[in-house]
Amino acid sequence: MSKTQSLRASYQEGIPGPWLEGSDNVLAVFEFGHSPLESTDPRHVPVALRQLGSPSMVEVWRCDGPIKTGTWDRLRFAQGEKLTMGHIALDLRKTGDMRESSRLAYDILQTYLQQSPHQWPLKIWNYIPGINQGSGDEELYRRFCLGRADAVLIDPGDRPPLPAATAIGSPADEPALQVYFLAAALPGLDVENPRQVSAWRYPRQYGPRSPLFSRGTILRMNGSQQFLLSGTASVVGHQTHHENQVANQLSESLRNVYSLLEEGYRLTGDSQARLDDQGLLKVYIRNPDDLDLIRRTLDAEAPAEIPRIYLEGDICRENLLTEIDGVVSMQRT
């Protein structure tokens, strides 16, 4: 028997307004194609990435209430009984360069979490304007990683629980760096992918500081389990595979997802992830012209039941064309 999931994430046709009015178990409403600086309510999270294809969807997170909302420094949050969603949007025209801004965002996030009843981030999403601008170690993604490592007070060598993460580029003219997260009172179960080198062990060639995230975390609560996937791309070992071949990159990303889910089954011993209608996928696409090919590839290789949307976004390595992120339900076997 499957129990009700603690995080109920879904895509819904329409606009955010109705979800924010008087619904007592709505933790967050994500709207695509709008600057994060336009947030009108602590639970309203505009994301600068444009949705490709139709119909136009919002993403709604629901959990057990009552839900308390508030502001803490530059962070806005919604806190349910067992889960918290928080988001930060920093106007880069005011906060300085990307390293400084990333450090500031993670300082705020960390200071907020330290005093929250839900201290453990399970997954963090990072949307970075012009992520591939600059060359070599000056690339904005690498500057972002430096700022994150400056702020985060953990040594991955100690094997602390790490959150899952997604880092995607928003349009270069978007003014805000956006970071949002899901947190709980206990850490998630970290899952690494046997097909991939752990990101925190990436060799020097990818930048001066490695990204700090796990390939996925399992949220266990109320007898139900959910898999929070990190952004998953066509990376095997630590190398990009299928350069300039978007359909093959999507297939490789899916193989990584399946491999990670299998590892989750091995670690829990009794819970298997399923790409079904209780979960959702987000597919990031660098070149909007690739939408049809990506859509056909995904339709052929992943169950039709799992809801998905396509977002225009740059991937953190210039040679990656697509990436998959999502929430997947798990069932006891």
Q: Under rule CB under 6 A, which residues in 61-120 are in contact with ligand 3EB?
A: none
Residue closer to ligand 3EB (CB basis): 44 or 143? 143
- Residue 82, phi-psi category: left (phi > 0), alpha (psi -120 to 50), beta (remainder): alpha
Rounded alpha-carbon distances, angstroms, from residue 300 to 18, 190, 223, 236, 303: 34, 29, 33, 22, 8
Cβ proximity to ligand 3EB, 210 vs 225, nearer residue? 210
Q: Which of residues 117-156 bind ligand 3EB (CB under 6 A)?
A: 126
| Near ligand 3EB by CB under 6 A: residue from 108, 167, 257, 294 | 167
DSSP 137-161: GGSHHHHHHHHHHHH----GGG---
The SS3 assignment for 207 reads coil
CB distance 224 to 273 below 8 Å: no
CA–CA distances in Å: residue 306 to residues 1, 24, 80, 277, 333: 20, 26, 25, 5, 20
- Select the residue interacting with ligand 3EB from 57, 199, 218, 281 (CB under 6 A): 199
CB of 259 to ligand 3EB, least distance (A): 13
Nearer to ligand 3EB, 35 or 193 (CB): 193
Environment class of residue 113 by beta-carbon count within 10 Å: exposed (0-12), middle (13-18) or buried (19+)? middle
Judged by CB, which is closer to ligand 3EB: 57, or 233? 233
**19 versus 144: smaller Cβ distance to ligand 3EB:** 144
Residue 330: C-alpha distances to residues 2, 72, 123, 208, 277 (Å):
9, 33, 17, 36, 11
Q: Rule CB under 6 A: is residue 316 a binding residue for ligand 3EB? A: yes
Which 217-236 residues touch ligand 3EB, going by CB under 6 A?
230-231, 233, 235
* Of 2-10, 85-93, 161-169, 243-251: span binding ligand 3EB (CB under 6 A): 161-169
Contact region with ligand 3EB (CB under 6 A), list: 160-168, 178-186, 262-270, 284-292: 160-168
Residues that bind ligand 3EB (CB under 6 A): 126, 165-167, 199, 211, 213, 230-231, 233, 235, 316
